[in-house]
Structure 1
Amino acid sequence: MKGGNPDTALPVKRVLWRRLGTLPIFSHYNRLVALVLALNIAALAHGLTAGQWWTSTGIVLEALSGLVVANLSLAILIRQQYIINLLFWLATRAPTSWPLAIRRSLAKVYHFGGLHSGGALAAIGWFAVLIGSLAWHWTESLGGVSLALLGVSTGLLGILLLVAVMAHPRIRGRFHNGFERMHRFGGWTALALFWVWSVLFTRDQNPQASVSEALSTSVAFWMLIVLTFSIALPWFRLRKVPVQLIRPSSHAVIARFDHVTPFAGSSNAISLNPLMEWHSFANIPAPGEASFRLIISRAGDWTGEFIEQMPTHVWVKGITTAGVAHIETLFKSVVYIATGSGIGPVLPHLLAGQVPIRLVWSTRSPRKTYGDELVEEILRANPDALIWDTDVLGKPDLVQLAYDAVRSFGAEAVICISNQTLTQRVVEEMEGRGIPAYGAIWDS
């Protein structure tokens, strides 16, 4: 395996005011959250003034319910796999002749989750306001609100709050299985209650018309149909497929599938129990082959069980979905920093050869862990790759190695595929020195 020494000392970070935009608190993700919340605050200001949504004679309940549906639609649809792929496709249409400042911003497309979080928070906030308004209407006997509607609204708000609390980064990180199940089963329960709520709300607000007639002219009703279809769509594609497994070591398996041919930079979710737990892995398609591979390394109970059991079939659902590495085509050349099984998301780009790449891969005993065949495949695709064997050389300073690779290769950007702590460190350190850097943000 290859090693290396730092070529140049890291330059001092730019002054704070010039790198404020690179700090985590000002990330594109948080900016999108702030944008959604700002638009909703503007809507609230309108409602309190010119809109006159709250008066002594009544409250414009339809306006509040419309804002709930609008924000909920944003939160759900922005996570739809076809929309995600469309966003990546649009962002990567920019040619490399465009100014780097534009391309580096477009490459932040994978922060779209900020729209999901902002929309979800705003929807819950507006729903709480709506419930308060419904309660006021009911206590003042203003009509249009039944006790059944209030009861369903309260239960629905409780479920939405539980889903939001479990999605908090610290809670999600510590209880990831609980987060995933709450998001799935709590989300399904909330969707069912929204259907009940919509029927009750429409009935209460339109006592002179039949429910079916009132629903047919309701924008919220038709939007709820779209949202239900969007949530159900990945499950329409649920299927159990055969998998061929090669276990080069007790730490990792290489899984081969033949049911689809995905694109480089995409991922697929697999499961042994489709109702309980799903895990996404980067697809490794080989040019000219109608199959793909996944690298699964031991990183917890589920992956450990998978490696030990060596299943013959797994469940898959949805479609192949673009991931962070898909942004590489926005740059003239890229340095990839990978650790351990992070080589999985990088390998398809090495094989595709769409962009000049310099690889820095840090891992324990790469040949022993992942097999000679995989290592040789990497070296054939990227002969100048720096493969750092941590069992021999110890843990490297990946920030230094990233900077050295950028300088020697003349790369425009760094893409880091590693654990959360290291990814955030590499990205922040590179961005702090004016080098565009990207990595997963663990927002789902």
Structure 2
Amino acid sequence: MSSDTSPRGAAPAYDDAEKGVNEQVIVYPVEKKPLTFPSDEKKDLFPNEKKDAAALQPPQVKRDPYALQKGAPKKKVSKWIIVKLWYNTYRKLFTIAFSINMIMFGFAVSGHWPYAVKFAGAFAVANFNVSILVRNEIFGRILYLIVNTLFAKWPPLWWRLGCTSVLQHLGGIHSGCAVSGIIWLTLKVVNTYRNHINENNAILVVGLLTNVAVIITAVSAFPWVRNTHHNVFERHHRFVGWTALFLTWAFTIMGDIWDVENRTWIPDGVHLVRQQDFWYVMGMTTWIALPWICTREVPVDIELPSPKVAVVRFRRGMQQGLLGRISRSAVKEYHAFGIISEGTHAKYHYMICGVQGDFTRSLVNDPPRTLWTRELKFAGVSNTSTLYRRGIRICTGTGIGAALSTCIQSPYWFLIWIGSDQEKTFGPTISGLIHRHIEPERLLLWDSKARGGRPDTMKILKDVYKSWNAEIVFITSNYIGNSEMMQGCKEAGIPCFGTLWDF
């Protein structure tokens, strides 16, 4: 536990360091001096005398070539670039998964595919099965391991960029299959109610509850809910999701063992295990439960370099490009943060938690001695940095938590960090890691407080991209900063990947 005492009162929101590229230049007030002559003597005493106006020659001031001048107009990009950024791989994968399902659904409801109508429940749980699988942390780590092992550096750049894009946007399959599963489930429930005379009342009730539960689970995961009301997302998407799983179990098993023709139950285990939807539900349960078996309560040491940031230290080292989930509770309100580590051989790894909400504020006001975490970490887009020969990692504020490991563990990555008074805000631990492991020739630290404002990030990126001979740029910033840099890179033809806001 850090020896720093907790600050009194509520910790302030993490503002300055998180502003990053959006911070405005500070304008200081000009001191007004008294007039050197009475007000009635302001008129020109010699109106008829011609004077040569001497041009004022201000002293030469050395300007920072990357400083963005106050009031500089925002650069506009073409609508085509905005459309391409919006319709990213996430939405493309969603479109593919959803369209395939809707084509099959159309054949089913039009009467051209009786099999799909009869086994609509199996189609529903099959979609849920795929949806949960692609979000499974173990499955994700396996995919990243396979891609990083097979395609590191040697294939064409377009192939490696495609691999990174698909891995980063697997959530498109997750959401596409989830929405499709809800539609198939609705068909199953509607058909059950149409045949309510031959159905058991318990099946009718459980079917309706299942449908409602999965809809609530899906709605609570909408980007607006997830990004602005994280606790709502946690309580509904995760816990109502568990309820939906149990109800899906009940609805599936009850439907499998109910004999519609004889209107009686068939308590036959052999008959049950022969049903395909039974095994789909088994798969769903396995994918959901696997990450939770890795949950542990671990000791932590929390450093409080400023009231805006908590640096959480854990035991053992990590490979680069990983993120971890932490919580004060074993089962609820898990929050994901980037992991900083010197490598798998290191003694510790770190998470930077900027004060933005109740959970992170509590880490500063009431630092715990232990936290719950999943020992199996999940991979982020930085984990594919091994695919590229040279790259740039640009971040603002607390984004350094997701970016630093890549630059520490690889000498082929250039770090650009934009923030406010970084050394004072983030403390000696983070500064020490940077200066011990990253040489000055591949490091650019922009202190927006010391330099009087935000930089021209695109000028920096273009210059470094060319001089460093980079293949890729990874961006970690807030929404506005991320959008500006992504648009600028696309316009300049620089391959880039940024923070996701649509999952």
Contact 1:36 1:119 in 2 (8 A): yes
TM-score normalised to structure 2 length:
0.79
Deviations 1:295-353 (A, max 9, x none): 22222221111012121111112511111111212222111111112112222112211
2:434 equivalent to 1:378: yes
2:476 equivalent to 1:417: yes
SS at match of 2:356: coil
2:135 equivalent to 1:79: yes
Inter-CA distance 69–23: structure 2 relative to 1 (3 Å threshold) = same
Deviations 1:254-310 (A, max 9, x none): 22211x432211111111123331111122222332331112222222111101212
- Aligned amino acid, residue 125 of structure 2: V
Q: Where does residue 84 of structure 2 map in the other structure? A: 22
Contact 1:270 1:280 in 2 (8 A): yes
- Aligned amino acid, residue 428 of structure 1: Q
Distance 2:439 2:399 in 1: 16
Larger Rg: 2
The partner residue of 1:428 within 481, 487, 495 is 487
SS at match of 1:299: coil
Distance 2:493 2:91 in 1: 20
Q: Where does residue 47 of structure 2 map in the other structure? A: none
2:267 equivalent to 1:231: no
The partner residue of 1:254 within 311, 317, 338 is 311
Report the CA distance between 1:95 and its aligned residue: 3.2
Inter-CA distance 60–388: structure 2 relative to 1 (3 Å threshold) = closer
Contact 1:68 1:126 in 2 (8 A): yes
Distance 1:95 1:369 in 2: 36
Q: Where does residue 323 of structure 2 map in the other structure? A: 267
- Aligned amino acid, residue 420 of structure 1: Y
Deviations 1:68-125 (A, max 9, x none): 0111001111111111112222333313232211111111111000011001100011
- Aligned amino acid, residue 347 of structure 2: A
Distance 1:373 1:311 in 2: 19
Deviations 1:163-204 (A, max 9, x none): 222212122222221011101110111111111111211122
Contact 1:22 1:428 in 2 (8 A): no
Q: Where does residue 329 of structure 1 map in the other structure? A: 386
Q: Where does residue 500 of structure 2 map in the other structure? A: 441
Contact 1:350 1:382 in 2 (8 A): no
The partner residue of 2:179 within 118, 121, 126 is 121
Distance 1:96 1:22 in 2: 26
Contact 2:67 2:455 in 1 (8 A): no
Distance 1:87 1:21 in 2: 29
Distance 2:342 2:77 in 1: 41
Distance 1:6 1:205 in 2: 74
Structure with more contact order per residue of length (Cα contacts < 8 Å, sep ≥ 6): 2
5+ residue gaps, structure 1, are 54-58
SS at match of 1:84: helix
Q: Where does residue 457 of structure 2 map in the other structure? A: 398
Inter-CA distance 303–130: structure 2 relative to 1 (3 Å threshold) = same
SS at match of 1:65: helix
| Aligned sequence identity (%) | 27
TM-score normalised to structure 1 length:
0.89
Inter-CA distance 97–13: structure 2 relative to 1 (3 Å threshold) = farther
The aligned runs of 1:184-263 (5 Å cut-off) are: 184-205=238-259, 209-258=266-315, 260-263=316-319
Q: Where does residue 97 of structure 2 map in the other structure? A: 36
- Supply the RMSD in Å over aligned alpha carbons: 2.6
Aligned residues: 428
The partner residue of 2:417 within 352, 355, 361 is 361
Distance 1:192 1:208 in 2: 20
Higher helix share: 1
Distance 2:488 2:122 in 1: 43
The partner residue of 2:168 within 110, 117, 134 is 110
Distance 2:281 2:479 in 1: 35
Report the CA distance between 1:208 and its aligned residue: 7.8
- Aligned amino acid, residue 402 of structure 1: L
Distance 2:245 2:461 in 1: 45
Inter-CA distance 136–255: structure 2 relative to 1 (3 Å threshold) = same
Report the CA distance between 1:226 and its aligned residue: 2.3
Q: Which is worse superposed, 391-400 or 181-190?
A: 391-400
